Amino acid sequence: MRTMDLTPLLRTSVGFDHINRLLDNALSNNEATYPPYNIEKVSEDDYRITIALAGFSEDDLDVTINEGVLIISANNASDKEEDNEDRFLHRGIAKRSFERRFRLAETIRVMSAEFKNGLLTVDLQREVPEHLKPRKINISGGQKEPKAINNEAA
């Protein structure tokens, strides 16, 4: 496995201890390609994940959030049809179990999920807390007197 020296990056950032784990996950690329999905930026603060799920019904799907990870999964829905396996000459529409995970930033909220025409659409929105928004820091001119240090024994 490749190793990366993140020292230059970590010198200028504070509180991003988990970045090494995220980069390892991104570089390992062990993730399956089923089912296919799109992630789109709808507006400045809105995102949409669309997953193609032909052959599934709404009851087959499970959408949950656990510790900042959006998990979309389905049980093996083809168990009902395995008895009819002999009648298929070619089966190109996959209907197998899957679990797709999306790590969400702390400021991303899941707004809704909709299943229509074989597409599961999950709408996300970035909600930046007031303390994380950019703000102007005033610079005072002149000297401030140092604050007196209270040396009284307790």
| pLDDT, tens digit (0-9, with 9 covering 90-100), for 57-66 | 899 899 999 9
Provide the whole-model pTM: 0.63
The candidate with the shortest Cα–Cα distance to 72, out of 113, 24, 106, is 113
Mean pLDDT for all residues in the chain:
78
Segment 118-129, tens digit of pLDDT? 899 999 998 888
pLDDT-derived band at 21 (thresholds 50, 70, 90) equals: low
- What is the chain's Cα-based Rg? 25
- Sign of the Cα torsion 21, 108, 52, 56 reads positive
The residue whose two tokens read 């240090």 is 149
Beta-bridge partner residues of 66: 69
pLDDT digit string (tens) for 36-58?
Answer: 999 999 998 899 999 999 888 89
Query: What ranges in 29-84 are assigned the alpha helix state H?
Result: none
Please report the domains of the chain, with CATH numbers, ordered by start residue.
1-30 (no CATH), 32-128 (2.60.40.790)
Give mean pLDDT, residues 109-121: 93
Amino acid at 48: R
